[in-house]
Structure formats: structure tokens, C-alpha cells
Amino acid sequence: MAMASRVVGRFFNRFRLDHFNYMHPVRLQRGSPQRLRKVYPVKIAYTDWGPRDAPVVICCGGVANTAMRFNYLAYDLSGSFR
């Protein structure tokens, strides 16, 4: 627990965690049978670091990633980038 606190504590109050719903379109669902295809929401989580008026850097993870995947990079860049 002490090690986890040291790692996570470094990021305390440094970012805003949020999410949005991406509507996954039918045209991108080619692997599913036609009768099962429909538009559906996918919850996308993200963290927002740095000054709002700074240049933006977007880091995209894969399917099994979390919004916290790029914390170390974001922390190091947050003085000059959002």
C-alpha cells in the first residue's frame, strides 16, 4: 500500500477525469451479422491535464487500456501542454 500511495500520490489533483459516449456506427461493424448491427454507445474515459490554453497532445490507448494509461507522460508534459 505504501508503494501504491507513492505512485498514485504523485498525480493527486493534477488532472480531471471525465468521459463521453461515442456512438459506434453500423458501417464499422462488418464482423457482425447484418441483423445484429445497430448503433450503440461506447463509454470513452479520458484524463485532462495541463493549462486549458496550452497546445493539445492526444494519447490513444487500445481496447483494454484505461484513462490512466498515460499518467507519467501527461504529468511530465503538463507544464507546457494540455
Overall number of domains in the chain: 1
Cα separation, 42 vs 33, in Å, equals 19
Cα separation, 11 vs 78, in Å, equals 11
Q: Is residue 39 part of a domain?
A: yes
Cα separation, 7 vs 51, in Å, equals 23
Q: Which pLDDT value is given to residue 68?
A: 78
Domain extent, residue 32, equals 2-77
Q: Is residue 32 part of a domain?
A: yes
Q: Which pLDDT value is given to residue 30?
A: 87
Q: Is residue 9 part of a domain?
A: yes
- pTM (two decimals): 0.67
Q: Which pLDDT value is given to residue 4?
A: 64
Q: Is residue 82 part of a domain?
A: no
Length of the chain: 82
pLDDT tens, the chain, 82 aa long: 677 677 677 888 888 888 999 999 999 998 888 888 999 999 988 889 999 999 999 988 877 777 778 888 999 999 999 9
